[in-house]
Structure 1
Amino acid sequence: MADTAKYLTELKSLLSILQGRRTMVFAYGFMFAFIACNIFLIFNPNDGSSPPWVNRIFTNSTSNSTSYKSQFSSIYSYFFPNNLTSIVENSNSSKENKFGMEWEFMAPNGTARETLRLDLIEDRLRNTRMQILLSSIQDIGGLMRRLLRELRQVLPMGINVSTMIKNASLMMLDTFVDSIFRFVVDQPMVPSLSNFAPVEEIGRAVQISSIEGDIPIDFPEGIYIRNGPNPLFGSLKSTVSILGRSSETWIEGEGMLHAVYFRKDNQGKWTVSYKNRYVESETYKLEKERKRPSFLPAIEGDSPAILAAYLLNHLRFGKVNKYISNTNVFEHSGKFYTVSENHIPQEFDIATLKTLDNWDADGAWDRPFTSHPKRIPGSGELVIMGVDVKKPFFVLGVISADGKRLSHKVDLKFKRSTLCHEIGVTEQYNVIMDFPLTMDVIRLVQGGPLIKYDKEGYARIGVMPRYGDGDSIKWFEVEPHCTFHILNCFEEANEVVVRGCRALGSIIPGPDMGHNKFEWFSRGFKPIVTSQENLDHSAEDGLFFSRVYEWRLNMESRDVKEKNLTDTNFSMDFPMINDNFNGLRNEYGYTQVIDSDASCTCGLPKYGKLAKLYFEENENRFYKEERDCEEQIKVEYHTLEENQFCSGASFISRHGGCKEDDGWIISFVHNEDTNISQVHIIDTRKFECGPVAKITLPQRVPYGFHGTFISKPAQCW
């Protein structure tokens, strides 16, 4: 009982945040009961199908009764010194309700049956620590069970105790959150950030009449579509509370689809239209119905604030964070999906952009889903993966070509949760990137960040037979790096070749607390220089500078050869290739190119060029700091006009083209001087020339992430 007394004392201390807010005491009592009962459900569920917290607590099932000991039923009398029966008997007394709180228990017909006034706790309470929540995990269940038994004994017949307490508890948790956490704008919208701001949803198609140049006659009919963040309530938010600050990261914000439809009549005349629409995920609909921000940011910020957000989001909504679905769009077996890797994809109607349903491979996929699934050369199957903060950390799957079944699913037995964004495929293998950008709840509980790039950590690349398991992977140790995007992977003789955009640090999630976020981001976008060349050089300078890189993994000798393919003049990311060569040896690739000056000015990435990569043609460049000659590939640049920046670029293959690079790059381009957004079509065989067509859109399109072109889907033609 000594431990019991200790926990009770600590819980009283934890309630000190109610100082001056006595009407909230009852909400706090329930809140800590819920947190203690469910913290294991969040981090260490018994299985992958644990029901929501309300089903664990408010059911008549006793299957889990042994896991919640009754030894702490004394907590009930400690926090509720008045017997509930006496409260019922005295509910109609004239005694002043100094807490200003009433409970009305409703009969099935909706009439009030009883009004209970709850005089609860009067003690003034002191300091708080989030760790206390973890110390009482298995001890507080008795409170809820004792309370339910008491209520069933004293309440009028016909009252659904479970529903009543569930609804009251949710209301109290909401009141608690609203009184303790204050939502604030994360970053002022200065002019240089204007096109990161959200836009209004149009929903309907708007025909476009302003086209400069000509859409090529052999350009395919289809839909160019891109996803991106569009915060529902005007901007990204932070919360401030006595627990500290937690913030949404720059990659968050509800997903919005932006689609441009290309149709051609029998005379070869083009009709072009544009529409946009929110991805209506479960959490989007929840917050839209509430008409206010509700989910507490749970990724970046002070550890106690993030832990509180994690727990309170789960208790209130059954989810620890929003399903933003803002990163990529892909097609499989004639259906279309939008995705972000913290949840499964959402299927949508390509004609209307209406969100239809979650896609979980007929119930077989029960975890997060990569933003970059890869189609297997030849078979049409789809290789997917899901990373999670809890075990299993990394699961790989293969979905059938018809999209109806999950034909393979395997835990790769990772020892850490790596924030891997993309997977690679070759004709025979799956390629897995494991680099030291990790998610760690234990680190968070100990006061560190949830997501962290450890520059001293190990990095490796795994090559796995298509339907292998964790033990079948051949791992290759490589230099520490952060690679979010893979250009391509292929087999060549006894080697597996992997090409991607590699940086020395991670832009996600942001700096450690205490650092100036704007300064940290601005330094990260600086070009790579030596300390001798720049006296103001910092370890954070050029941290995000991404170069095209190649790893050659010898499957027989297990040797690794790795090198940069591009120089330090320009940082590149968001790569793309001709999709017909995915998993096969290819000669060409394309990337968006960072404008370092513009990105340093605003502290977020802006892309002022596009690059064409010639993997089979080399250029030799001399690096004086290395005093030798490093072989680089040939690169051509398509430079946008001043203060114009692109996003969502995609390669479109020319139908009947005989060359891999025969086609176009299509991209959203925004002019920050005129605040006008366009779509540019660029001939990849004349890459350094101007666009063949510029299509002016009816409204601004914010900067976003990945785009794709879908040729003439049956639903629209």
Structure 2
Amino acid sequence: MTTTSPTTASASDAPAPHMAGNFAPVTDELTAYDLPVTGTIPPELTGWFLRNGPNPRDAATPHWFFGDGMVHGLRLEGGRAVSYRNRWVRTATLTEGARPVDAQGRRNLAAGVANTHVVRHAGRTLALVESSFPYEIDCRPGHELETIGVHDFGGRLTTAMTAHPKTCPVTGELHFFGYGGPTPPYLTYHRADASGELVLSRPIDVPGPTMMHDFHLTARHVVFMDLPVVFDHSRPGMPYRWDPEYGARLGVLRRDDPRGAVRWLSIDPCYVFHALNAHDEGDRRIVLHVARYADFGDGTPAHLWRWTIDLDTGTVAEEQLDDCFCEFPRVDDRLAGQPARFGHATTAELPGTGPIPGALLRYDLEKGGVVRHDFGPGRTPGEAVFAPADDRPGGPGWLLTYVYDASTDASDLVVLDTEDISADPVATVHLPQRVPYGFHGNWLPDPAS
């Protein structure tokens, strides 16, 4: 095992919740090989499991969302845990101290922490945060997780990029948006083709600057969520506030008319960080599943809800599906924008909530019901990513997640069989250091030869 770039994270006698326990950063970049495994890693799993999250390098940050991005990667091949490594994303903010706004008030979209997600499109692996450009990282043998640099689609991208782009499994197109900034346009919709070329950027008129973290894609529509968390530069730390007077609405845009009118439909005030999935139901209905908060910033947990848009009446039916707290909802990405029977979500602590029994949830979105995997006292999972067992979308597979054990102050990669997630793990890979709680990641299988 080798160690590089040691640093010292700041600490205090009473750290903020997002700097305490397993929210606190790790200080070293490690590389370890031939990791110990309990159980058997499915031999079909050959590729990278990557997860991004905030890991402040030199100092505490005023909010969990603002730490420097660090990608944790586990390489699996032929039933072996070949290697683990963690690397900071070498953004201009990390290496040069770049600021989002310079002394002349100009926005620098290369200045960001790239700490929220890591996705692959058109052969590029991108670390994302919604306030800036993405950064490309290298997953080639011998270059694992090194930062290549800013990716702005050959200079065509002129806004920030959401951390939650959607890849259409039919066309291979990447759909995304950019928001932010104190002046219009507050929202811009983008589309890149399957080869990675940015082919569409169109502003969308919204009343004001809101925090738009995620959106929805179906086979025929794009649906935006304009929700009442509004930009407020006077607030220290997180520069947004809950303002139910702003209203809440969903904006529907036809994919075959991407420069056409956006139809806005009102819903009850709420906030959504993360969408599970969406699909068209016939010609005139759109079904959306979301992790919905009744409020923002008051500690109220999110629950799974279904919204059904009726395009004939211009109304949205809103229905809570479960009373269990859930976040980080995911689906088999090969069914993104298509009807999917199953969805998965995580129950775990967030900064300030205190300990919550960690569990993964598997929802049957067609027949109802939920199956739960509890990890036991002090064991907390992160987001669970679906890895397929074969080429059938919606077929069998595994859930991969990093799990922190408070009793040992260590982390594992846990592999669960989706056919029965309540059963014991198929495999547990024991990691050389803990993985702090973070945000999102992906299973990136090796391309077929």
Q: Report the TM-score when normalising by structure 2.
A: 0.90
Task: State how far apart, in whole Å, the 2-side matches of 1:601 and 1:400 are.
Answer: 43
Q: CA deviation at 1:364?
A: 0.9
Q: CA deviation at 1:369?
A: 0.4
Q: CA deviation at 1:327?
A: 0.2
| 1:260 alignment counterpart | 74
Instruction: Please give the residue correspondences for 1:684-695 in structure 2 after superposition, counting only pairs within 5 Å.
Output: 684-695=418-429
Task: State how far apart, in whole Å, the 1-side matches of 2:14 and 2:248 are.
Answer: 33
1:230 aligns with 2:33: no
Q: CA deviation at 1:234?
A: 4.5
Q: Structure 2: where are the runs of 5+ without partners?
A: 1-9
Q: Of the candidates 145, 159, 179, which is equivalent to residue 353 of structure 1? A: 145
Residue by residue over 1:321-354, the C-alpha shift from the partner in whole angstroms, topping out at 9 and shown as x without a partner, is 9511100000001110001001010011013211
Q: CA deviation at 1:616?
A: 1.5
| 1:393 alignment counterpart | 186
| 1:195 alignment counterpart | 22
Q: What amino acid is the match of 2:353?
A: C
How many positions carry a matched residue from both structures? Answer: 435
Q: CA deviation at 1:235?
A: 2.9
Instruction: Please give the residue correspondences for 1:619-698 in structure 2 after superposition, counting only pairs within 5 Å.
Output: 633-657=368-392, 660-698=394-432
| 1:334 alignment counterpart | 123
The range that moved more, 674-683 or 348-357, is: 348-357
Task: State how far apart, in whole Å, the 1-side matches of 2:165 and 2:344 are.
Answer: 19
Contact 1:342 1:369 in 2 (8 A): yes
More helix by share: 1
Instruction: Please give the residue correspondences for 1:116-265 in structure 2 after superposition, counting only pairs within 5 Å.
Output: 188=15, 193-202=20-29, 205-217=31-43, 219-236=44-61, 248-264=62-78
Identity %: 28
Q: Of the candidates 88, 99, 105, which is equivalent to residue 278 of structure 1? A: 88
Task: State how far apart, in whole Å, the 1-side matches of 2:416 and 2:41 are.
Answer: 10
Instruction: Please give the residue correspondences for 1:253-332 in structure 2 after superposition, counting only pairs within 5 Å.
Output: 253-264=67-78, 270-287=80-97, 314=103, 319=108, 323-332=112-121
Q: What amino acid is the match of 1:671?
A: D
Instruction: Please give the residue correspondences for 1:370-381 in structure 2 after superposition, counting only pairs within 5 Å.
Output: 370-381=162-173
The 3-state SS of whatever aligns with 2:93 is helix
Task: State how far apart, in whole Å, the 1-side matches of 2:340 and 2:109 are.
Answer: 41
Q: CA deviation at 1:208?
A: 3.3
1:609 aligns with 2:359: yes
Task: State how far apart, in whole Å, the 1-side matches of 2:13 and 2:296 are.
Answer: 20
Contact 2:346 2:359 in 1 (8 A): yes
Contact 2:285 2:311 in 1 (8 A): yes
| 2:277 alignment counterpart | 488
Structure 1 pair 185–655 and aligned structure 2 pair: CA distance change class (3 A): same
Q: What amino acid is the match of 1:466?
A: R
Task: State how far apart, in whole Å, the 1-side matches of 2:161 and 2:216 are.
Answer: 14
Structure 1 pair 194–322 and aligned structure 2 pair: CA distance change class (3 A): farther
Q: CA deviation at 1:595?
A: 4.9
Q: What amino acid is the match of 1:677?
A: S
Q: CA deviation at 1:184?
A: 9.0
Task: State how far apart, in whole Å, the 2-side matches of 1:678 and 1:184 are.
Answer: 25
Residue by residue over 1:638-674, the C-alpha shift from the partner in whole angstroms, topping out at 9 and shown as x without a partner, is 10110111113201111145x7251110000010111
Structure 1 pair 184–393 and aligned structure 2 pair: CA distance change class (3 A): farther
Q: Of the candidates 343, 365, 369, which is equivalent to residue 132 of structure 2? A: 343
Select the structure of larger CA radius of gyration.
1
Task: State how far apart, in whole Å, the 1-side matches of 2:256 and 2:198 are.
Answer: 12
Task: State how far apart, in whole Å, the 2-side matches of 1:334 and 1:490 are.
Answer: 26
Q: CA deviation at 1:199?
A: 1.3
Task: State how far apart, in whole Å, the 2-side matches of 1:438 and 1:226 are.
Answer: 28
Task: State how far apart, in whole Å, the 2-side matches of 1:377 and 1:693 are.
Answer: 29
Contact 1:501 1:548 in 2 (8 A): yes
Q: What amino acid is the match of 1:653?
A: P
Contact 1:649 1:665 in 2 (8 A): yes
Contact 1:607 1:647 in 2 (8 A): no
The 3-state SS of whatever aligns with 1:694 is strand
Structure 1 pair 190–220 and aligned structure 2 pair: CA distance change class (3 A): closer
Q: What amino acid is the match of 1:612?
A: R
CA RMSD of aligned residues (A): 2.8
Task: State how far apart, in whole Å, the 1-side matches of 2:224 and 2:112 are.
Answer: 25
Q: What amino acid is the match of 1:235?
A: A
Contact 2:48 2:445 in 1 (8 A): yes
Contact 2:415 2:425 in 1 (8 A): yes
1:562 aligns with 2:318: yes
| 1:420 alignment counterpart | 212
Structure 1 pair 249–322 and aligned structure 2 pair: CA distance change class (3 A): farther
The 3-state SS of whatever aligns with 2:199 is strand
Structure 1 pair 341–408 and aligned structure 2 pair: CA distance change class (3 A): same
Residue by residue over 1:443-479, the C-alpha shift from the partner in whole angstroms, topping out at 9 and shown as x without a partner, is x39x998311113431001110125457511111111
Q: CA deviation at 1:270?
A: 2.2
Q: CA deviation at 1:256?
A: 0.5
Q: What amino acid is the match of 1:600?
A: T
Contact 1:422 1:485 in 2 (8 A): yes
Q: Structure 1: where are the runs of 5+ without partners?
A: 1-182, 237-247, 288-293, 296-309, 508-519, 525-542, 618-632
Q: Report the TM-score when normalising by structure 1.
A: 0.57
Q: CA deviation at 1:314?
A: 3.7
The 3-state SS of whatever aligns with 1:285 is helix
Instruction: Please give the residue correspondences for 1:507-518 in structure 2 after superposition, counting only pairs within 5 Å.
Output: 507=297
Q: What amino acid is the match of 1:586?
A: A
Q: CA deviation at 1:593?
A: 1.1
Structure 1 pair 411–185 and aligned structure 2 pair: CA distance change class (3 A): farther
Structure 1 pair 594–455 and aligned structure 2 pair: CA distance change class (3 A): farther
The 3-state SS of whatever aligns with 1:688 is coil
Q: What amino acid is the match of 1:465?
A: R
Task: State how far apart, in whole Å, the 2-side matches of 1:459 and 1:317 are.
Answer: 30
Q: Of the candidates 243, 246, 252, which is equivalent to residue 457 of structure 1? A: 246
Task: State how far apart, in whole Å, the 1-side matches of 2:308 and 2:428 are.
Answer: 40
The 3-state SS of whatever aligns with 1:233 is coil
Instruction: Please give the residue correspondences for 1:64-79 in structure 2 after superposition, counting only pairs within 5 Å.
Output: none
| 1:708 alignment counterpart | 442
Structure 1 pair 451–616 and aligned structure 2 pair: CA distance change class (3 A): same
The 3-state SS of whatever aligns with 1:419 is coil
The 3-state SS of whatever aligns with 1:580 is helix
Task: State how far apart, in whole Å, the 2-side matches of 1:575 and 1:274 are.
Answer: 25
Structure 1 pair 376–455 and aligned structure 2 pair: CA distance change class (3 A): same
